[in-house]
Chains A and B, each alone.
Chain A
């Protein structure tokens, strides 16, 4: 079965960094574009960043551009999100999501993790 497990969330002070990880299993990670999507209380889902299957395309939402960096290690079946200069408005439940179909999918997410909670507060 396809499984995505996020980790790395926690309470962090404004301006500090945090690195999220997503461990994938049950499928060939290298065949899929992978994304980070966050759930902000009261505001719904917000797309954060996406990385194509071959890492040739990388995209960020305007709200995190220049502060967050997405990467993947296919050998370790893992996706990462390096978050720098965190702000209170980055507080959210962060999900790792797989885009389908393989290779060409970008904004249709057929598998999600349970999420990891990030709280930015002093």
Chain B
């Protein structure tokens, strides 16, 4: 069981928008930055969002991040079939003194 809670799966049609939630507590999301990663089998995980809402160089602005209280959200607009992947949030937990991740959300582009 992960300390960060994500929905197991989400789906949407090509061109549409989807959001993925990540719920935590005051010891993690509430007081630390959140990152989001894209995992595709056979490839290296990719950093999509860091410090809650910043995009690394090369990540299209279709990807966005936000945080409110003890929850964070990843948004993806203009969905493409190439966006099908698992998405995971991550942060630091001050009580555990450990890096923690969500259980991952599988995105299906119908």
Contacts and interface: CB of A to CB of B under 8 A. Distances in A.
Interface residues of A, number: 26
B98 A62 contact: yes
A2 to B, nearest CB: 10
B73 interface: no
Contacts, number: 68
A89 to B, nearest CB: 14
Contacts of A107: 32-33, 35, 90-92, 99
Given A95-B45, A108-B47, A114-B43, A47 B33 contact: no
Contacts of A113: 44
A82 interface: no
Interface stretch (B64-72, B74-82, B101-109): B101-109
Contacts of A114: 42-44
A110 B103 contact: no
B104 A44 contact: yes
B35 A45 contact: no
Contact of B99 (A35, A44, A112): A35
* Interface magnitude class on chain B: 20 to 34
Contacts of A111: 44
Given A50-B99, A110-B50, A45 B90 contact: yes
A35 B37 CA distance: 15
Contact of A44 (B42, B44, B50, B101): B101
B98 A61 contact: yes
A61 B37 CA distance: 20
A54 interface: no
B95 interface: no
A110 B47 contact: yes
Nearest to A63: B98
Interface of A: 4, 35, 37, 39, 43-47, 50, 59, 61-62, 95, 97, 100, 106-115
Interface of B: 2, 32-33, 35, 37, 39, 42-47, 50-51, 56, 86, 88, 90-92, 96-104
